[in-house]
Structures are given as C-alpha cells and as structure tokens.
C-alpha cells in the first residue's frame, strides 16, 4: 500500500512539474483554489475559517 501511495504521489508530482496537473473534479482544492480537506470541523469545531477567494 505504501508503494502504491508513493507511486501515485510521484505521478502527480511529475504531472505538476510538466505543467499537466489538473485538480480532480469535486475536490475542495479545485473548488476553492487552495489546499483543503473535508474534516475541518474536527479541529476547528464551529469556527471554520472561510476560504479567501
């Protein structure tokens, strides 16, 4: 499993370095143009900051 994750990471990094990287549809990162994840409330509770668009 670790090898699969490493392989996928290297594949994405190579696409980014070549200028061919595209964020996946439906991802928080694509929607807001920032790094994001879906478990914000675990740490922030009700005080989740809004993305600066």
In degrees and rounded to multiples of 5, residue 5 shows phi and psi of -65, -45
Please check the confidence at residue 28 and state whether its pLDDT lies above 70. Answer: no
Half-sphere exposure of 2 (CA within 13 A, CB side): 0
Q: How confident is the model at residue 31 (pLDDT cuts 50, 70, 90)?
A: low
Query: How far is residue 23's CA from residue 42's CA, in Å, rounded to a whole number?
Result: 24
Q: How confident is the model at residue 29 (pLDDT cuts 50, 70, 90)?
A: low
Contact indicator for 17, 9 with CB cutoff of 8 Å? no
Query: How far is residue 2's CA from residue 8's CA, in Å, rounded to a whole number?
Result: 10
In degrees and rounded to multiples of 5, residue 6 shows phi and psi of -60, -45
């Amino acid at each position: 499993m670790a090898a699969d994750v490493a392989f996928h990471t290297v594949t994405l990094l190579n696409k980014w370095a070549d200028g061919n990287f595209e964020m996946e549809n439906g991802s928080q990162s694509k929607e807001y143009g920032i790094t994001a994840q879906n478990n914000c409330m675990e740490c922030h509770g009700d005080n989740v900051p809004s993305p600066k668009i």
